[in-house]
Amino acid sequence: MIEVKEISKEFKVSVKEPGLKGSIKSLFKREYIIKHALKKVNLHVKEGEILGLIGSNGAGKTTLVKILSGIIHASSGSAKVLGIDPWSRDNNLRSQMALIMGQKAQVWWDLPALDSFLLLQEIYQIPQSVYKKNIAFLADSLGVKDQLKTQVRKLSLGERMKVELMAALLHNPKVVYLDEPTIGLDLTAQKAIRHFLLAYQKEFKPAMILTSHYMDDIEKLCKRIVIMREGSVVYNGSLSEVRSQYAPEKIINVNLKQDEWSFEDVSTFAKKLGTITSFEEGVLRIKVNRDEVAKSCQLALENLPVQDLNIESADIGDLVEKIMLKGKQ
C-alpha cells in the first residue's frame, strides 16, 4: 500500500546571527544552510498494518509523513501510495487518504464540528447513508456525541483531537497518517484515542503510519516500528525483535520474606542465577538471560524464602533510545 524507495529531502534554511547586528546584516545578506531532513529512506506498509515511526525531534518523521501525503516534494527517490505517486496530487489518491497532525487543526475553528463534517461529506462525496453510519460509529467510539454542535475552538484539547480524528476518518480512508495524535493529551484521552485507533484498524483495515513520542502509543498500536535518527532509518523491524535483539536479558524481582534470610547467603545464591543489579530492603533484582528466566525463577522459588516474584522486561523507551544513540557514539 505504501512503498518508499531511497527518499531524500533537503531544506535550505536561513540562519541569522543573534542580536541587532545580525538582524541588520540579514536585511542585506542572508546566509543559508542545507538541512538534510531525510537520507535515502526505504520502507513499506501493508494493508491493515500500523507502522510506528519513532525518533527524536528533527529525526525526519513528520517530513516523511508530509512527503507521503503529497504536502511537500522529495528531493530524490520515489514513493507510491496505493500505487500512485503522492506528489501527483491525484484526486483518486487524496480521496482515499487521511492526515491527522496533532499540532495542526484541520477542522474549522469558528464552526461546530458538524458543520465541517458536512463540507467534508461533499468534498469526499460520501453518500448520505455512509456519512450517517460513520458519524454514529466515530462519535460513539470516541465519546464525543455531545460535543459535535459546539464551536470547535471552545472544545478541550482532547475533545478537539477526537473531532479531528472524526473529520479525517469520515470517508473511510485506506491510508492514514497520524502525526503525534496524542500530543499534549491527558492519560485518559490518550488511552481513549488508542482504543479507538485499534477498533478502527480492526474494522476498516487501513494502512497506517503513526508517529509519536509516547512509547505507550507505539507499544499498544504497532507491531512494527521504524526508528529514525537524523533523517536515516536506523531500525526497521518488529517491536518484539527490538526486545530480543537489544534486551537479551530480563530482570527478576524477588521480594524476600522478612527475617528469614541472611544477606550473604542470598547474595551468594543469586550470583549463580545471574547478575545482581540491586539488593535493598529485602528486594533482590537479578538480571538473567531471556532463555533462562523460567529456570532461574524455579531455582529462586526452591532455594530462597520468596514472598513474591515478578519478571520485568526492559523498557521499550530505553531500548529505542539505545538504538537511536547507538550510531551516534
Partner 1 sequence: MKSLRWPMTVISMEVRKILAYRSDFWVNQVGLIIFQVILSYSLWFAIFEFNGVEKMGGYDLTNFIHYYLTAVLVAKAMLGEDIGFLSREIYDGTLNRFIVYPVSIFQYKHITYLVYSLFNNCQLFAIFLFNYFYLHPTPLSEIPWSSYLLGVFASLLSSSLFFMMGCILESIAFWADYIWSLMVLLRMTTNFLGGTLIPLTFYPEWAQEVLKFTPFPYIVTFPIKVFMNDFDSIYYLKNCAIICVWYFIFYLIFRLVWRKGQLKYTGVGI
Binding site for partner 1 (CB under 8 A): 11, 66, 69-73, 89, 91-92, 94-95, 97-99, 101, 104-106, 108, 110-111, 115-116, 118-119, 121-125, 151
The CB-of-120 to partner 1 minimum distance in angstroms stands at 8
The residue (of 108 and 269) whose beta carbon lies closer to partner 1 is 108
The residue (of 123 and 199) whose beta carbon lies closer to partner 1 is 123
Chain length of the chain: 329
The CB-of-92 to partner 1 minimum distance in angstroms stands at 8
The CB-of-179 to partner 1 minimum distance in angstroms stands at 10
What sections of the chain are H helices per DSSP?
A: 19-28, 61-68, 91-94, 113-123, 128-142, 157-169, 187-204, 215-221, 239-246, 263-273, 293-303, 316-326
The CB-of-6 to partner 1 minimum distance in angstroms stands at 19
Quote the CA–CA distance of 106 and 214 in Å, as a whole number.
Answer: 22
Task: Classify 175 as helix, strand or coil.
Answer: strand
Measured CA to CA in angstroms, residue 212 lies from 121, 192, 317 at distances of: 29, 16, 12
Quote the CA–CA distance of 283 and 278 in Å, as a whole number.
Answer: 8
The CB-of-141 to partner 1 minimum distance in angstroms stands at 23
- What is the residue whose three cell numbers read 531500548? 319
Quote the CA–CA distance of 175 and 46 in Å, as a whole number.
Answer: 10
